[in-house]
Copies of this chain bind each other. A is one copy, B any other.
């Protein structure tokens, strides 16, 4: 039985593996905001539980059991966020912190019921995929809006950053997942883009923002409903 602390380490390891590939101790430590010795000793104890492969000075890798456990925590996190937004009517910018706690609740039926009530959603409110019960995570093939050429129509489907500040910024511009965006023009100087959608015929978005908006170019993509 993993403690909440161990579960947070496993989640961090899983996410780092999925983005960086190689996991170093210092990445893990800085991700979790703990000292290197703290991460080092936890890494040894995760190894003892057979969730992690560890050899002195070598990169870290999760075992299959570690990966499965991590995915199950991430599943609980994302189902919770979806439940908070869809059922309890929270804003997408206020659910992460609560989910960070609720993901550690041990009650499979509780999360299965959320899943049912939500109709087995494929993604959380920020577009991140929800692992299935087996722990398998659908690989998304979205591209950042910043890579889209003028004239193209795309669908906004996910975010590569979901900080509350960024989400509040998107709220202020009426941007939400599922929207169809038309790229009107791109500014070579600062990578800003002019985008049209709904009642916003020409909204200027900075390069920073466009990098974080993940879109699908094919118009017939799976719709968020």
Contacts and interface: CB of A to CB of B under 8 A. Distances in A.
B105 A98 contact: yes
A107 B98 contact: yes
Interface in A95-119: 97-98, 101-102, 105-107, 109-110, 113-114, 117
Interface residues of A, number: 18
B106 A101 contact: yes
Contact of A113 (B88, B101, B106, B113): B88
A121 to B, nearest CB: 16
A56 interface: no
Contacts of A114: 88
B97 A101 contact: no
B107 A97 contact: yes
A94 interface: yes
A81 B117 CA distance: 17
Judged by DSSP, the binding face of A is helix
A90 interface: yes
A188 interface: no
A164 to B, nearest CB: 13
Contacts of A107: 97-98, 101
Nearest to A90: B113
A106 B138 CA distance: 31
A84 to B, nearest CB: 8
B88 A117 contact: yes
Interface in A22-67: none
Contacts of A106: 101
A48 to B, nearest CB: 24
B94 A109 contact: yes
Query: What 5 A-B pairs are tightest by C-beta distance, nearest first?
Result: A98-B107, A101-B105, A88-B113, A98-B110, A102-B105
